[in-house]
């Protein structure tokens, strides 16, 4: 049984996680040399002799980690999760269990150590992504033909996770991925018959979790080892976990399964689209982990920064509407209800205050409907302007004095103070047609 001290410390870490709300996902490795995404080994069916030289051509700049931390902080992100090893098996850290790593190839140094130091210097939470699968093992694709390799692959994953949990001080998040058992479905390809269907059984996930809890008792684990972990990870969609569990949507800027560097992407989300998904996750009680795929030099390219920078400017004005907010009783159950006033935007809440992000701007007047209790005051956070509040029929209020046109390129936020914590009001019957709803 976990000691009470560890239990309390992890509860505090979960509180930090939920209050942070916004993180940066970083998919990076030697695959960035080609700029065609992080899954080219499998999706392009590349022989190992064709893939290996990428590691020797991979030469990050000395200040890549500092630049990354600065970009994350400028965007308003509170933590970062880096792919210490992705499915292609290339480790960004020095490992005694596989020479295919950054210290023994092109970079000639431990990139994870640089990353950890830069994040700590910037005051950001430190997250490690680790892919359990390794496509470079023939036994992953053909377990029957290479039976000895299957157990060796599993042992290597356990050993490298131990290195990550031992060599870099306290870690905030361990983000598992690539849990499909050998022979099961993998991205872009079917490999054959699975050795076993249950991923936790295949990877001996209970042993991994016990090891991590011993070495990093305060680290938060996600649910992709096959065990429940501490938080859920819906991918490319906003979907709350059941039962009020912590959860985090991870999402790319592009619409393809391209998490790593794409030299040319002609189908990216705009800042407005990213902000919409971001606020949608937060309003339902989740976090938003927005992905970038740095170039081979380690820098985020201008195409991705052109989205991060406007989000960062928006967060400078409106971060209060994001950090530490909750759905309260406006979105009960944390599902996917549209909720009150969804035709205008979305609510986030803290105590007696509601923050309304207006994605569909109504003009000078905003009608607040199906929300209680009574409104005390309203302010346009985007400009600092005080607004007028007038109770009207059907338990509504009119907030007036807004600019006739949206006051900025991204959705403005109206800060509303209520007489108590805000809640949704369910309307029944036909009385509202005559203005008689109370």
Residue 5 has pLDDT above 90, yes or no: no
Return the number of other C-beta atoms located less than 10 Å from residue 303's C-beta.
14
Which of 224, 151, 150 is CA-nearest to residue 191?
150
Q: How many CA atoms lie within 13 A of 47 on its CB side?
A: 2
Residue 302 has pLDDT above 60, yes or no: yes
Would you state the pLDDT for residue 183?
Answer: 78
Distance of alpha carbon 418 from the chain centroid: 31
* Beta bridge mates, 347: 356
Q: What is the mean pLDDT of residues 359-364?
A: 98
The structure tokens listed for 330 are 């406006």
Query: pLDDT tens for residues 130-186?
Result: 999 999 999 999 888 898 999 999 999 999 999 999 999 999 999 999 998 987 765
Q: What is the mean pLDDT of residues 370-388?
A: 97
Parallel, antiparallel, or unpaired: how do β-strands 22-26 and 287-292 relate? parallel
Helices (H), 123-231: 138-141, 147-166, 199-203, 205-215
Compare 180 and 125 and report the one with higher pLDDT: 125
Helices (H), 57-135: 64-74, 111-122
Which of 437, 238, 247 is CA-nearest to residue 346?
238
Which domains does the chain show, CATH number per domain? 4-321 (3.20.20.80), 332-425 (2.60.40.1180)
Residue 188 has pLDDT above 50, yes or no: no
Would you state the pLDDT for residue 196?
Answer: 78
Residue 334 has pLDDT above 80, yes or no: no
Would you state the pLDDT for residue 144?
Answer: 83
The structure tokens listed for 241 are 């976990």
The structure tokens listed for 116 are 């950890």
Return the number of other C-beta atoms located less than 10 Å from residue 384's C-beta.
9
Tell me if 249 sits within 8 A of 238, measured CB to CB.
yes
Query: pLDDT tens for residues 262-285?
Result: 999 999 999 999 999 999 999 999
Residue 198 has pLDDT above 50, yes or no: yes
């Amino acid at each position: 049984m976990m000691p009470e001290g560890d239990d309390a410390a992890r509860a505090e870490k979960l509180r930090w996680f939920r209050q942070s709300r916004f993180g940066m996902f970083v998919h990076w490795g030697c695959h960035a040399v080609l700029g065609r995404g992080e899954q080219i080994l499998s999706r392009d069916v590349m022989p190992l002799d064709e893939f290996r030289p990428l590691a020797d051509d991979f030469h990050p700049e000395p200040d890549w980690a500092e630049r990354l931390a600065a970009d994350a902080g400028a965007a308003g992100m509170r933590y970062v999760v880096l792919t210490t090893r992705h499915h292609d098996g290339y480790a960004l850290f020095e490992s005694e269990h596989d020479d295919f790593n950054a210290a023994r190839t092109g970079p000639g140094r431990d990139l994870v150590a640089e990353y950890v130091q830069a994040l700590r210097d910037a005051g950001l939470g430190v997250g490690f992504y680790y892919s359990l699968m390794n496509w470079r093992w023939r036994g992953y694709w053909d377990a029957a033909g290479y039976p000895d390799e299957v157990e060796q692959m599993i042992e290597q994953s356990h050993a490298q996770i131990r290195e990550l949990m031992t060599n870099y001080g306290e870690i905030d998040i361990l983000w598992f991925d690539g849990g499909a058992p050998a022979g099961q479905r993998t991205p872009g390809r079917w490999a054959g018959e699975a050795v076993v269907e249950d991923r936790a059984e295949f990877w001996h996930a209970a042993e991994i979790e016990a090891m991590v809890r011993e070495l990093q008792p305060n680290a938060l684990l996600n649910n992709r080892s096959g065990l429940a972990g501490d938080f859920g990870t819906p991918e490319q969609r906003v979907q709350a976990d059941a039962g009020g569990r912590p959860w985090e949507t991870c999402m790319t800027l592009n619409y393809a399964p391209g998490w790593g560097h794409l030299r040319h992407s002609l189908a990216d989300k705009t800042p407005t689209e990213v902000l919409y998904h971001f606020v949608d996750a937060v309003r339902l009680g989740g976090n938003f982990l927005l992905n970038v795929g740095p170039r081979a030099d380690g820098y985020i390219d201008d195409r991705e920064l052109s989205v991060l920078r406007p989000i960062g400017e928006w967060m400078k004005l409106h971060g209060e509407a994001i950090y530490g907010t909750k759905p309260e009783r406006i979105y009960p159950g944390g599902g996917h209800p549209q909720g009150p006033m969804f035709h205008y935007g979305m609510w986030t809440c803290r105590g007696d205050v509601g923050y309304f992000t207006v994605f569909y701007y109504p003009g000078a007047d905003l009608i607040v409907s199906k929300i209680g209790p009574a409104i005390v005051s309203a302010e346009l956070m985007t400009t600092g302007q005080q607004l007028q509040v007038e109770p009207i029929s059907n338990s509504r209020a009119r907030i007036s004095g807004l600019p006739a046109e949206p006051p900025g390129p991204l959705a403005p936020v109206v800060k509303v103070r209520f007489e108590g914590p805000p809640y949704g009001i369910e309307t029944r019957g036909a009385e509202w047609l005559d203005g008689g709803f109370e």
